[in-house]
Structure 1
Amino acid sequence: MNETPWQRLDQRMLLVHPITETVKYIPVLIASVIGSAQSENPLWAMLALAVIVGIAVTRWFTTTYRIGPDNVELRTGLIQRKKLAVPRSRIRSVDIQADVLHRVLGLAVLEIGTGQQAGRGDEFKLDSLDARLVPGLRAELLAHTAGARAVDPKSQEIPSDASAFTFDQTGPEQVEEKRESVEIAHWRPVWVRYAPLSLTGFALIAPIVGLAFQYGFGQVVFDSSAVHELGDRGMWFVTSVVLGLLLTLVVVVSLAACARYLATYFGLRVLDNGKTLHLRHGLFTTRQITLDLARLRGATVNEPLLLRLAGGAELEAIMTGTDPRQKILPQAPRAAVDRTLTHLLGESAPSTVTLTPHGTAARNRRYTRAFGPVHTAAAAMLVFSLVAQPLPRWSWILLALAYVIAAALAWDRYRGLGHTVIPAADGNPTWLITRSGSLDRDRDCLEAPGIIGWTVSQTWFQRRVGVATLTAATAAGKKRYHLIDIPLDQAWPLIEAVTPGQLGSR
């Protein structure tokens, strides 16, 4: 039997790669232009541009791929040849992207995911393919996935503005059976208001402020003659300037977060055909991700503090062989997240389930940890004021404010701490649901059959109060899911309830 022939990428990549490579090496071109100006020889700049374009063009001649019955293979490189081979049974996801230039030329980038971290240059990426061939190629690459998951008819009762339609996954060599796809979530323009509420953007403000003061901003403000001329009003002037700059920085960071959110998640649609989960989003660069539902082991509802206060959340899938934090929904209303979660996990793991608190010892540990640094600061301030000189009144006001913040943080951390076990029923598996955190709170819903082991650990302080940290190990998602400060006498019954028989004999 003849082997599958090697194929080349689409010839239109000869227009794409020279442009993308030229943009990538703009610093090199700038340096060559400067060198040409100094040597009064413009050929140096032209030579650098010719080398970059030439290398980009050679990729079409040196890149070939083929899809065999057992393996998918890719050959690249001009001087150093490289061959990648991926067993088709190891393919976990297919990621399709297309930026503006690709879309104008009718091309797409297809990347195969195997669940392992690939270094730069080791990704199995086909750039660029005819966009019309991509749906059929995606269906062919995922043809080995398990049989269709039964779709609960009740789960198809989606909002009136959602639509159900059919994927056309016909390829050049085969016709894939068309499956009805149910839209379980879609992006709305009003969701952009949640974009600035992620703590990631605001975490950038502190380093920027620190760098500003490190490079003399504080000295310029506090030692300026204008401040000294104001006398007692100088402190109020400085405070107003700092607050104004912080407010401006917050506005800039918020606008940047909104722009990034729109560019990344514009037009997001999440579709379930009972066998795979299909995500499509992007404004300038469109991205399509196809995930095998047979590898779904649960989901995580992420609720950063600001997003939680605004009634929003994020949804991530817990899957084997994909990104540990595979996002299904970005910052969105909690109702939309709960609706999508219920569809993915079924009614057996509802989002409104009541969690079991971890008791008095866990609560006391939250307050002890929160007040510890504040007590240390208070003791240091008291010693300094007694030995050296009295501290200004505003420093004690800040200390009192720190106590209030610490108490609120401890209360919220304990309020967010809990777990529950939902027993198997009506053909649904047992579910372990755990929640922890305050500034960044995660609610993990983990399918019991996906748990492969347990760890019960105790620090010296935990042993004194009779609590432990219980860790469920799994091959999916973050790999380790923690139940923090659970009473030790509840740990063993919980393990037996979730995974009967794994305790063995003790």
Structure 2
Amino acid sequence: MTTVVGPAEPAVTEHWRRLSPRMLAVHPVMELRRLLFPLIAVLIGLRSGNGADGGWWALGIGGIGIALGFLRYFTTSYRITPAHVQVRRGLIRRRTLTVPRDRIRTVDVTSNVLHRIFGLALVTVGTGQTDKKNDGVKLDGLGAADAENLHRELLHRPAPEAMAAEAVPAAPETVLAALDPAWVRYGPFTLSGLVAIGVLFGLGSRLVNEGHVNLAKVGVIHDTIEYLRDKPLPVAILLVAAAVVVFTAVASTVGYILTFWNFRLSRHSSGTLHVRRGLLTTRSTTIEERRMRGVELSEPLLLRSVRGARVLAIATGLRVGRGSDRGGSILLPPAPRAVAVEVAGTVIGDTHPLTVALTRHGPRARLRRFTRALTVSTILILIVLAFVVLAGAPGWAFWASLAMLPIGTFLAWDRARNLGHALTDGWLISRHGSLVRRRHVLRTDAVIGWNLTTSLFQRRAGLTTLVATTAGGRQHYAVADVGDATAIRVARTAVPGLLEQFLAE
């Protein structure tokens, strides 16, 4: 079967090339990692008394993993032509993926620990698709030097007739930002450690279920449970919460170091931005500046409390569906807010949109935030009260739930305070959010359409939400809860003529 993206490939004489043979030492290990849980299940079966058969099954599963790793090498080849990038893979179901070079938006070069040991890299060529449907080209197992040359060739060379077999000289570059070790102090405020807790909990639960292990009988866990059982319930809850906070802070700091160590953002004279980062797993992302549509200044609540922020790119072809840290949109890791504003302004060539005063959305928008917060808090409190009265839950749970009222009120006040928008020098700026406050700076000439959405409650308040659609980033950026006249005025001023045909006289 042949899959073709874009126009048909003309007859060319460029030769097909294979991945590095060193990948034969890496891919079997990666395939075995995917078969980890079947192997665990088989090994547990050895303890049930059927040792011989279990051993053969384990050997068979391991052999399948190794065979899949070898097949990937022998059935994968690629070539670069002046107009296309082609990848051919598969044994029984043969597929050829063809991508026009003029559709290439980004090139990622990633090397995990195994890759780095053997001098390999994974190259991902982005074609403008998001993570919801990622049809990009992936070459897992190129030599590190070949991967670097390939990414330079695809995005740094101005001449389209450049050939892949030639060595590509490094383009002159200007460093826009580099990691300051002092920025590690922002790591605990990113809360990325919560993800590690979730992953460990999920992995541990699966292993416990597969192994039929009774955690209450495990030494350390048993002693911890007995220790907490002797404490009053509120004290036990506080101790568990404190342990979670400490672990989250430590895990978040370690994650920050692993993800962003050696971070560097540079601008190449060929018209690209280049981001390098990572300690154990290194990653290089190249973005064409002509694909940039703007920037996002992101300030999570805890990070904002220590005057920190991070910068994300709004550009076509970037993978934003998996989050900014795993995707390719990160332009600056959590850092001082002043540095983030300066870097974002340097990227777009103007710091004014990052600092301009915003137009507030008025008392009706503010009232909506307080109404929603108090309504949700009241409903949750009533649910807890029902459990106390009907299900015999402890009475202190109701009194503890009353804390949701002041918390909800604070979040509503903060959301109302952060709400705003502006139009200045060809930029549409919108800001919203509390737990994560985001300031979107979007080029008005990148707006390809407008959506005006009004819910039942918005109609009663005389408000609407103006959504700018674009081909880059999240693909929709909202100016929330403004008056109908304000929404139309902003849309008409930002992109004259686009909305006129839909307006009544």
- The 1-side partners of 2:267 and 2:59 are apart by 51
1:486 aligns to what? 482
- The 2-side partners of 1:21 and 1:142 are apart by 31
- Amino acid aligned to 1:140: E
Contact 1:188 1:267 in 2 (8 A): no
In structure 1, runs of 5+ residues without a counterpart are 148-168, 229-233, 425-429
Match of 2:103 among 65, 72, 90: 90
Pair 1:401–1:134, CA change in 2 (3 A) = closer
1:467 aligns to what? 463
Report the 3-state secondary structure (helix = DSSP H, G, I; strand = E; otherwise coil) of the residue aligned with 2:21: coil
Query: Is 1:311 matched up with 2:324?
Result: no
Instruction: Tell me by how many angstroms 1:392 deviates.
Output: 9.3
Q: What pairs up with 1:170-249 in 2 under 5 angstroms? A: 172-173=165-166, 175-176=168-169, 179-199=171-191, 201-202=193-194, 237-249=232-244
Pair 1:146–1:237, CA change in 2 (3 A) = farther
Instruction: Tell me by how many angstroms 1:375 deviates.
Output: 4.3
- The 1-side partners of 2:62 and 2:177 are apart by 46
- The 2-side partners of 1:109 and 1:226 are apart by 48
Q: What pairs up with 1:386-397 in 2 under 5 angstroms? A: none
**Cα shift readout 1:72-96 (whole Å, capped 9, x = no counterpart):** 1111122322221111111111110
Report the 3-state secondary structure (helix = DSSP H, G, I; strand = E; otherwise coil) of the residue aligned with 1:478: coil
1:264 aligns to what? 259
Q: What pairs up with 1:31-430 in 2 under 5 angstroms? A: 31=41, 38-39=51-52, 45-117=58-130, 123-142=136-155, 172-173=165-166, 175-176=168-169, 179-199=171-191, 201-202=193-194, 237-274=232-269, 275-324=271-320, 325=324, 326-347=329-350, 349-376=352-379, 398=400, 401-422=403-424, 424=425, 430=426
Instruction: Tell me by how many angstroms 1:175 deviates.
Output: 4.4
**Cα shift readout 1:213-250 (whole Å, capped 9, x = no counterpart):** xx999xxx9xx99999xxxxx9x822111100111112
Instruction: Tell me by how many angstroms 1:256 deviates.
Output: 1.8
Pair 1:495–1:384, CA change in 2 (3 A) = same
Query: Pairwise CA RMSD of aligned residues?
Result: 3.9
- The 2-side partners of 1:250 and 1:141 are apart by 45
Larger radius of gyration: 1
1:24 aligns to what? 34
- Amino acid aligned to 1:273: H
- Amino acid aligned to 1:11: P
Report the 3-state secondary structure (helix = DSSP H, G, I; strand = E; otherwise coil) of the residue aligned with 1:321: coil
- The 2-side partners of 1:17 and 1:382 are apart by 55
Instruction: Tell me by how many angstroms 1:459 deviates.
Output: 2.1
Instruction: Tell me by how many angstroms 1:69 deviates.
Output: 1.8
- The 2-side partners of 1:33 and 1:401 are apart by 49
- Amino acid aligned to 1:359: G
The alignment of Structure 1 onto Structure 2 pairs a total of residues equal to 465
Pair 1:250–1:208, CA change in 2 (3 A) = farther
- The 2-side partners of 1:55 and 1:206 are apart by 30
- The 2-side partners of 1:451 and 1:335 are apart by 28
Instruction: Tell me by how many angstroms 1:46 deviates.
Output: 4.2
- The 2-side partners of 1:253 and 1:313 are apart by 19
Report the 3-state secondary structure (helix = DSSP H, G, I; strand = E; otherwise coil) of the residue aligned with 1:443: strand
Pair 1:118–1:435, CA change in 2 (3 A) = closer
Match of 1:446 among 430, 442, 448: 442
2:3 aligns to what? none
Report the 3-state secondary structure (helix = DSSP H, G, I; strand = E; otherwise coil) of the residue aligned with 1:351: helix
Contact 1:133 1:171 in 2 (8 A): no
TM norm structure 2:
0.81
**Cα shift readout 1:49-82 (whole Å, capped 9, x = no counterpart):** 3443233223322211111122111111223222
Pair 1:174–1:400, CA change in 2 (3 A) = closer
Pair 1:144–1:468, CA change in 2 (3 A) = farther
- The 1-side partners of 2:301 and 2:58 are apart by 52
Contact 2:193 2:255 in 1 (8 A): no
In structure 2, runs of 5+ residues without a counterpart are 1-10, 206-213, 217-221
Query: Is 1:14 matched up with 2:24?
Result: yes
- The 1-side partners of 2:304 and 2:256 are apart by 18
Provide the identity percentage. 37
- The 1-side partners of 2:487 and 2:133 are apart by 42
Pair 1:409–1:226, CA change in 2 (3 A) = closer
- The 2-side partners of 1:263 and 1:9 are apart by 27
- Amino acid aligned to 2:436: D
Contact 1:145 1:292 in 2 (8 A): no
Pair 1:203–1:359, CA change in 2 (3 A) = farther
Contact 1:434 1:443 in 2 (8 A): yes
Instruction: Tell me by how many angstroms 1:39 deviates.
Output: 2.1
- The 2-side partners of 1:41 and 1:376 are apart by 54
- The 1-side partners of 2:196 and 2:336 are apart by 24
TM norm structure 1:
0.80
Instruction: Tell me by how many angstroms 1:120 deviates.
Output: 9.9
Contact 1:313 1:333 in 2 (8 A): yes
